[in-house]
Amino acid sequence: MEKPSAAAMAPQLLRNLIISALFFADKALLYLPVKWQLLDKLRFLLVSCFLFFLRSLPSVFCPDADSSKAFKFSSKNHESTDLSPTSAGGGDSGIARAISQLLSSMNEIPVSSRKYEVVRSLAERLIDENRGENSASLIDVNRRVLTASFARTLGRLEAAVERDRPRDLGEPIRYGLNRVVRVAMRAVGDGLTGKGGEEAEQWSAEKLAAEVLWLSEKMVTCGFGEEAVEKWASASSLARLALWAEPRLQGSMVQISAFLFKQVKEMGKGEGGEKDKWRLTKKKMLTSWLPLLCRASNGAEKPFLRTVEQTKLERVLEETISELKIEDQEQVLSLWLHHFTHCSSSDWPNLHASYARWCSSSRKIFLFQSK
């Protein structure tokens, strides 16, 4: 085999050096965009310009492949910069890649765009068609792409809530002024870039919360809502941030919690290790999201849940608590009592019956052990 000449190797070597340098430069900025939006835009501009440069000179830098697929960029809060549609966990099949790409695009497109409903409807149709085929392989495709999309959207939601949370919880007035300044600066930036607020809407926490709810519903419909429940139960950091979120966003997360709590009671019907696993998941679900249910303002103008829904959810919570071990019941009910009694704007959920039953059980155990 004839060895390549130095002249032929030079463009390839230069290309590899440039890609490596850009990769490490991009990696150094991974944790900055959450606090400094200007750096995020600068990073996106540099990456876009370099991709355009490679695409415009394919014969010099990348003669054998599409330069737009030459490399990937990862980001903690902007997974969408990964150029590979399989990055969402969709597998190797074309249908998996198609659904993954649609779900990823749904995160990117503002709700006000006409394209948003088109993309979401197409993704929903493909998911429903996979489910209608009664094929184990297609069901597994749905499971993987929806689970990956749920995890990605949940991560973005937490980043968005973290971005907007008050840094000094003891000074709500200053927090309000800071929000006004941020909104004004964002409006000026949109005026300069001509985006008209679409970027703010694209990454808004309310939009992402609505997509988490939609994904939860699709996962339950497809028969694997347990993945959504596990991930939501484990989102303890997001649950803490939600206590200081704006009322409308709190309402969205209350609705997600209410929907997934209803799925919890149907799980863990097995025996042994499986039952213990779901008992732990139920405890995590309660300790993570029960404080928000107690402290959410419950809608000054419009209730987050109707009275009937509140009553049904109270029953679900009582049943879920009753399935825990006695020591876990104490931990959950103590947490409930703390937040319930310290929130003056809401008297829901009222779990006094569960608390009374736990006290009665604890008394019986004490009397038995004292004999």
**Beta carbons within 8 Å of 42's beta carbon, 6+ residues apart:** none
Q: What is the gyration radius of the CA atoms in the chain, in angstroms? A: 25
**Number of helical (H) and strand (E) elements in the chain, helices listed first:** 16, 0
Q: Which sequence spans correspond to the domains of the chain?
A: 83-211, 247-264+278-296+305-371
**Beta carbons within 8 Å of 218's beta carbon, 6+ residues apart:** 124, 127, 146
Q: Rounded to whole angstroms, how far apart are CA atoms 103 and 115?
A: 13
* Cβ density class 256-270: b for 16+ within 10 Å, e for less: bbbbbbbbbeebbee
Q: Are 128 and 187 in contact (CB under 8 A)?
A: no
pLDDT of residue 342: 87
CA distances from 265 to 20, 221, 273 (A): 51, 16, 17
Angle between helices 225-234 and 205-221 (to 10 degrees): 140
pLDDT (tens, 9 = 90+) of the chain, 371 residues, equals: 445 555 556 666 665 666 555 555 554 554 454 455 566 566 666 666 665 565 554 444 444 444 333 333 333 444 433 434 444 444 578 899 999 999 999 999 999 999 999 999 999 999 999 999 989 999 999 999 999 999 999 999 999 999 887 665 444 444 444 444 444 444 444 443 344 444 455 568 999 999 999 999 999 999 999 999 999 999 999 999 999 898 889 999 999 999 999 998 777 665 656 778 889 999 999 999 999 999 886 544 556 888 899 999 999 999 999 999 999 999 999 999 999 998 877 789 999 999 999 999 999 999 988 87
The answer to whether the pTM exceeds 0.85 is no
Q: What is the DSSP letter of 86?
A: G
Report the phi/psi class of residue 31: left, alpha or beta, with left for phi > 0 and alpha for psi in -120 to 50. alpha
pLDDT of residue 194: 42
pLDDT of residue 3: 52
